[in-house]
Amino acid sequence: MFPKENGNGYHHHHHHEVPPPGMGNGDGVRRVTRSSRASSPTSTSSDTVPVVRVPEQQQLQQHRPPCTDFDMAYFNSYSHLGIHQEMIKDRVRTETYREAIMRHQSFIAGKVVLDVGCGTGILSIFCAQAGAKRVYAVDASDIALKANDIVEENNLSDVVIVLHGRVEDVEIDEEVDVIISEWMGYMLLYESMLGSVITARDRWLKPGGLILPSNASLYMAPVTHADRYSEYIDFWRNVYGINMSPMISLAKQSASEEPSVETITGENILTWPHEVKYIDSYSITIHELETITSSFKFNSMMRASLHGFAFWFDVEFNGPAISPIDSHSTPSSDNNLANGSQRKKRRNPNDALVLSTAPENPPTHWQQTLIYFYEPVALEQDQPIEGSVTLSQNKENARFININLEYSVGGRSYVKQSVMK
């Protein structure tokens, strides 16, 4: 989910604010953020009345969060073809999901499935092909209208029911056996739909039901990236024979101001990664996602320049956790260990199916997210890098992430703040 459109084919770090609904660029230029392509209305021919069900406004309950202008712009951005094409063409993503559905066919066949943020409906159709009795495909974007046409085109209207609306608003009058969703954003949580998955789980998932993916982990590690640094910064030292070094401070500021979505390799990573957050799909709460803090201590494996930190994530597709013995015990007994250290056991750890966006794995459209420093820091081999990272939802727009990094190297302490928007 959430590919960034990077029109310049170059760097991904100039993001644009989400325009208010109805303020799309309309200029056909591919921008870095999908959101900036917000709203060209999706045309539906007037003679066809879509059978897509929309929620009745009067059914809304007070406790559900309101739909903001930012939400509207976000949903609007997903009515554009390019995003869905990029996500579907991401073979690592799409084929891992298909494999997960086939592997868990015994949980899906004859059962009721909910696809949260279904987009074109491809996962819903995979579930129908796996023998689901019924699939509710929910999407707040106008792409739901197309998903409905696709379902009809594939003669699956008797199985797949497309609901056009937010998971917070639509009505489903039965419990579901399985929730599937591709909710992950850049840095796992950027623009994340995980809140919608949690809402769906709490509203409709049967006890003992299956959630795919079952868990996720966000990682970080210090990186060195001299090539990019020189390409971006040192470039100004000699421009067609002219010394433009007064531009360097501006280039450093621009390169380090906002997180950059790009692809790096294992060679850029200086240490073993640190797990910033472990997410168990069955127990995570919306409140827990508002602020995530983690302390780290790295030791550089080599002598190098530290240019910043990289973030990436993995998600796993495991069957429901088996804990028949303590199913009657009090919930407090299993939740007393902080930060996901108490993890549910898999049936067989060897056959965990993983979708990984780590630098050493084949690239996906999520790439990795890098936060560059204004100045590199010289590291000796085995030198410690200690500190903490805090990710919190932006007050202005909950889909944005505020990133606060505090780190100490070689007796000096630094603070780096950034917003992923």
365: Cβ–Cβ under 8 A, 6 or more apart, which residues? 3, 86, 87, 89, 90, 93
User: How far is Cα 405 from Cα 196, in angstroms, rounded to an integer?
Assistant: 28
Closest to 148 measured CA to CA, from 158, 160, 159, 140: 160
Q: In 3-state terms, what secondary structure has residue 236?
A: helix
For residues 415 and 130, give the distance between their C-alpha atoms in angstroms, rounded to a whole number: 50
Beta bridge mates, 275: 219
Which neighbouring-strand residues pair with 4? Answer: none
DSSP state at residue 140: S
**Active-site annotation holder among 191, 258, 262, 316:** 191
Check: CB of residue 109 under 8 Å from CB of residue 130.
yes
Catalytic member of 95, 171, 174, 182? 182
**SS3 at position 84:** helix
275 catalytic residue (yes or no): no
Task: Give the torsion sign (CA, 128, 132, 136, 138).
Answer: negative
Fill in the amino acid letter for 99. E
Can you spell out the DSSP letters for 274-339? EEEEEEETTT--TGGGTEEEEEEEEE-SSSEEEEEEEEEEEEEE-PPP---GGGGS-HHHHS-SGG
Is-catalytic flag, 175? Answer: no
* Residue 3 identity: P
Beta bridge partners, 370, equal 260, 310
Residues marked as catalytic = 182, 191
